[in-house]
Chain A
């Protein structure tokens, strides 16, 4: 399969990438690792006229301990998130989630920022960052701004980013109980997207693929904070969700999976305290 013809531009810096984005507007797409965008282009579900390749911006690949939070450059690859000593120590949930994305080859190319900006509700990292209450930093021609992750995902493949903005950094506050985490993912085959997944940390529960965006399981979180046992809280995991009916699973099956996986995740997280 071959994408529709496009013009390839390689950005040498953030400002050059932003200039190219401003110049080409809606006709252009940023390309990071390319492991979400290129498959869509090959299937001709996406046909941008201009591709702005960001992979040369090596200074946006980093993981640094900032005291109260960990700062992660948007172009940090899943492989580097997975193997980061800082993240394994301070936010093991995030390092583990990165290790569950795709397969080793995909993790050698895909980036955390690309995954977030693509905003596929079936992706693992958006739900985990929602669970970790991360802050996203976007750079535009007028400077940068912070976007709480809870306001970032606005719909299927839609984010709060403006067309002339790019995601540059992800800030993850250090969890209160970093060790008490869990990530669960149910797939048909090893490298498939999650039919349903969930992440748990500090009493927050994030859901993968239970709606058009990653979601917090608010009713289950409320039950948990009222002192419900993991299995009782998990019974509320599908409340307020809007999972799809599709070729892989019915909505009812996804809701069942959400309850089962959240129960497992809460039990595992509490056993790690």
Chain B
């Protein structure tokens, strides 16, 4: 079937199988490979992207369902060569070890801060319940989320 998605502001039209998952569309059709397939069972959050601005697990959305909608992947965050505040915070706070969960973590935090710009540490931990880090590097990830929230507060 023909699908038409806006990915990181760019219109992408393609003829795909009806059963194609959004994550496979992003990786194999749009050639955007920051979005990882982790558990493939809606548990780990490695495939988190924004659909119409809200975090979703792209292994559990059909490309067909996303047709006509806006998708943002990690590649779409940096603007004019400048890292997004959440990306910068991950860098500064050493919010990653192996890096596999990082794209999903970053996208989940971007969505979380949009809904709740000034979360408490407890709210950050609750908000990341759908993202697993197999290196168990959660403390620095939570610090990065809080640092990004603080930075946005300053710049807002």
Interface of A toward B, CB cutoff 8 Å: 1-8, 10, 31, 34-35, 38-39, 42-43, 51, 53, 55, 79, 102-106, 108-109, 190-191
Q: Is the CB of A3 within 8 A of B45?
A: no
Q: Which of B19, B41, B64 contacts A53 (CB 8 A)?
A: B64
Q: Tell me which residues across on chain B come within 8 A of A2, comparing CB atoms.
A: 19, 21, 24
Q: Is the CB of A108 within 8 A of B60?
A: no
**Given A103-B130, A108-B55, A109-B56: 8 more A-B contacts, CB < 8 Å:** A2-B19, A3-B19, A5-B19, A103-B131, A105-B108, A108-B54, A109-B61, A191-B43
Q: Is the CB of A104 within 8 A of B130?
A: yes
Most buried by A among B1, B51, B59, B130: B130
In the complex, A34→B41 CA distance in Å? 12
Q: Which of B17, B59, B65, B130 contacts A5 (CB 8 A)?
A: B17
Q: Can you name 14 A-B pairs with beta carbons within 8 Å? A: A4-B19, A6-B18, A6-B19, A10-B64, A35-B60, A38-B60, A38-B61, A51-B18, A53-B64, A53-B65, A104-B112, A105-B45, A105-B56, A109-B56
With known contacts A3-B19, A104-B112, A34–B65 Cβ distance under 8 A:
yes
In the complex, A5→B62 CA distance in Å? 12
With known contacts A2-B19, A34-B60, A55–B129 Cβ distance under 8 A:
no
Among B55-80, those with CB < 8 Å from A are 55-57, 59-62, 64-65
Chain B residues with a Cβ closer than 8 Å to the other chain, count: 30
B40 at the interface (CB under 8 A from A): yes
In the complex, A102→B1 CA distance in Å? 31
Q: Is the CB of B64 within 8 A of A8?
A: yes
Q: Tell me which residues across on chain A come within 8 A of B112, comparing CB atoms.
A: 104
Q: Is the CB of B64 within 8 A of A105?
A: no
Q: Tell me which residues across on chain B come within 8 A of A10, comparing CB atoms.
A: 64
In the complex, A108→B48 CA distance in Å? 12
In the complex, A248→B19 CA distance in Å? 31
In the complex, A51→B60 CA distance in Å? 14
Most buried by B among A4, A5, A108: A108
B38 at the interface (CB under 8 A from A): no
B140 at the interface (CB under 8 A from A): no
Among B14-59, those with CB < 8 Å from A are 17-19, 21, 24, 40-43, 45, 48, 51, 54-57, 59
B117 at the interface (CB under 8 A from A): no
Q: Tell me which residues across on chain A come within 8 A of B42, comparing CB atoms.
A: 35, 39, 102, 106
Q: Tell me which residues across on chain B come within 8 A of A5, comparing CB atoms.
A: 17-19
Q: Tell me which residues across on chain A come within 8 A of B51, comparing CB atoms.
A: 108
